[in-house]
A and B are shown apart, each in its own frame.
Chain A
Amino acid sequence: MGAAPSTLRISTELTLPGIAIGLGTGLVAGGLAALGGLPLSYVALTTLALGVPLAVMGAGYDALLASGRIRLGGVAPAMLYWIPAFPLARLFHEVALDIGAGRSVVLPDALLPFLTFQALMSVGYAIGFLWLHENVAGLWWARIRHHNPVAARYVGQYTQQAAAMQNSKKPAEPRDKASGKAR
């Protein structure tokens, strides 16, 4: 075994799944802009303006998860987290697009309805985020679990669950007992 990894490395590693999903979402928005034939500068701007804040928020989610403040795989905590986080990211996106276009910053016409709408729709993002996070993060944690104690803890929790669900499948019964004719 080599030297123990630094706390910074451990923490950074744990936030990568959240960051990846946030940036991935930014890429979806950027991809849309690119397919729409918008200029490259706009494509880059919308990718970053949405992807970066969502990545930061995603990292925040992972940090809370690591500290034990958010339950692993929990739907309700993920929703509660994204209700404020998603509208903020979208607001940042809108403002950044204004700045990028050289316009004076104009907040969306009706700020409150805008934020309310984004907050309600955040539930959709929260579910999708969690859904992907469960897929992406699991693979990543399994990879880093040997040097990262928090990841090892996550993997342990998942393994326990998997053991309850999958590995406890009993071996089949002997043939003579198992295949009697229906009465």
Chain B
Amino acid sequence: MADVTTEREERTWQAGREEPMPIRELPDAPASLHIIGPAMVLVALGVGLGETFLWPRLVLLFGPNIRWLFLVGVTLQAVVMLEMARYAMATGESIFFGAARIARPIMWFFFATAALVYIWPGHVAAGALAFEQITGIPYLISAIVGLILIGAVFSLAKFVYNLLENLLTFLIGVLVVGSTIIATLVGSLADLGSTFVGLVAFGYFPQEALTAAFFPLVVGAIAFAGPSGMQQMWYTLWLRDKGAGMGVHVPRIRGLVHQDETETMPSRGFMFDTENPEQMQKWKNWRRWVMFDALILFWGITMLVTIIYTVLAQAAAAIDPGVQEAIRGGDEEASIAAMAGAFSEAGGAAIGVLFFLFIAIVGWKGSLGIFDAFSRGQADMTYYFIPGGRRFNISQLYFIFLWGVIVFGILILLFGPADGPTAILDILSFLSAFAMGAYCILLILTNNMLLPKKIRPNIGISIVLGFGAVFYLGMLLYSLIRFGVVI
């Protein structure tokens, strides 16, 4: 399908159904391997309620051996991340554009899925609930203030990505240092040992986890191992904004008060000359750069944080067996409260307070990143593919979606499901699995059909992606068929 053609003025690369990509220079990759990369935003987002809440909860229910599923999930996500980066860095396009090049309905599917899954204020609500435990301020108030704060923060920033990066970097740094200190005070070598052993207890699956009550929970937690749902797809937008690879040819999204400076957005991405050895060398350097991001930053840090929190969960269960019983009894919100209670017993009330504070930060940070990413993705698709979308510039569309989702979030908090925030979160995590299975298939298609032969993934990677699709969709369908869980 794809072929290099020579036109009168410029060479182009015809990829799939949309406009051909002009051939442009691939810039040099950053020389030093460095901690600051777009993966950091993904890490900061990915390290969220999955690692600090859902997985510790599973460990309390089924023991640390259930964590092998986490290892599989995060490793799979590292491969997905590298493949997302392959498409984005080679073309400067988002993966959504890639989906449209395969067939527009695929892209519309993701547009609709994002709208269904990510408009719920689940993260900020869970965080606000933890905040209520510390301060007594009703969660509704702090959740609404938190949402407005998110909109204000992004509206006032000149370059949205830079602000997001700085903010998340600081929060995640404090979180990692603080959590480590708590874990070293209350945890033990035995807890850590069983956590490690659990990571490689491949095939362990207790009978109880196969029940209608718990299987959807397990599927949701797997979807929350690392970046959940569509976060990996949004990663391609951050790569573009950061100027990684061919993203250098595409302008950045600017803050609301700096709209007048917005540059013209090209109508499609670009391709570099894969027949030029010098350009191919640069491509290899970019791959090395993103590999570092994927393995050290993403895989390593996600593992680390979840290990810390699993140690904490085990310490909590050892201190107070009531923690395990509370969760088994079906009271989901009791999970966080019981763990905090256990830490208070062990190290004074303050450790419990700090635990709540971290959960609150994680929740707010989760919504901050997700609302930003959701708005980027929807703006990207609207700009390129909705008729009339280009009457606005992409930054304006971004803010329409951002404030739209914030207002909707506030309305939901005020008048929405009365079951409580954790219930929203569970539905969200379960839905995520579907998008994840679907993007594995999409990546096989985009990276094998739309990219020049020399920069396509090898067969092994395509097999891993295929396994990913079976893994996510299989678990989801099994849950639907066997237990009749309706999304």
- Taking beta carbons and an 8 Å cutoff, which residues of A are in contact with B? 21, 24-25, 28-29, 31-38, 50, 71-76, 90, 113-114, 116-118, 120-121, 123-125, 127-132, 134-135, 157, 160-161, 164-166, 168-173, 175, 178-183
Contact = CB atoms under 8 A, between A and B. Distances in A.
A180 B19 contact: yes
B77 interface: no
A67 B177 CA distance: 26
B249 interface: yes
B325 to A, nearest CB: 25
B29 A164 contact: yes
Nearest to A117: B189
Contact of B177 (A36, A128, A178, A181): A128
Contacts of B249: 170
Nearest to B304: A124
B184 A178 contact: no
Given A121-B180, A124-B304, A128-B175, 14 more contacts: A21-B177, A32-B351, A36-B349, A36-B350, A38-B348, A113-B188, A121-B184, A124-B176, A127-B176, A131-B169, A131-B173, A161-B31, A166-B242, A183-B18
Nearest to A131: B173
Nearest to A74: B33
Contacts of B28: 164
A177 B184 CA distance: 59
A37 B31 contact: no
Contacts of B29: 164
Interface in B282-310: 296-297, 300-301, 304-305, 307-308
A116 B34 contact: no
Interface of B: 18-20, 27-36, 166, 169-170, 172-181, 183-185, 187-189, 192, 242-244, 248-249, 251-252, 263-268, 296-297, 300-301, 304-305, 307-308, 311, 347-351, 353-354, 384, 390
B32 A170 contact: no
A118 B18 contact: no
6 contacts: A75-B300, A160-B31, A165-B244, A182-B18, A182-B268, A183-B18
A182 B19 contact: yes
Interface of A is mostly: helix
A29 B30 contact: no
A171 B263 contact: yes
A102 B249 CA distance: 66
Contacts of A169: 243, 248, 251-252
B27 A164 contact: yes
A146 B196 CA distance: 48
B56 to A, nearest CB: 15
A75 B350 contact: no
Contact of A161 (B30, B184, B187, B192): B30
A132 B173 contact: yes
Nearest to B349: A36
A131 B174 CA distance: 9
A15 to B, nearest CB: 18
B298 to A, nearest CB: 12
Nearest to B9: A177
B32 A72 contact: yes
Nearest to B25: A170
B296 A31 contact: no
B266 A178 contact: yes
Closest 5 CB pairs of A and B: A36-B348, A128-B176, A128-B177, A35-B350, A124-B180
Given A169-B252, A170-B248, A178-B264, A37 B32 contact: no
The winner among A36, A72, A113 for most chain B CB atoms within 10 A is A36
B32 A131 contact: no
Nearest to B180: A124
Nearest to B251: A172
A34 B350 CA distance: 8
B74 to A, nearest CB: 16
A54 B234 CA distance: 38
B177 A28 contact: yes
A102 B252 CA distance: 60
Nearest to B268: A182
Given A165-B243, A168-B27, A32 B267 contact: no
Given A73-B34, A168-B27, A178 B265 contact: yes
A149 to B, nearest CB: 19
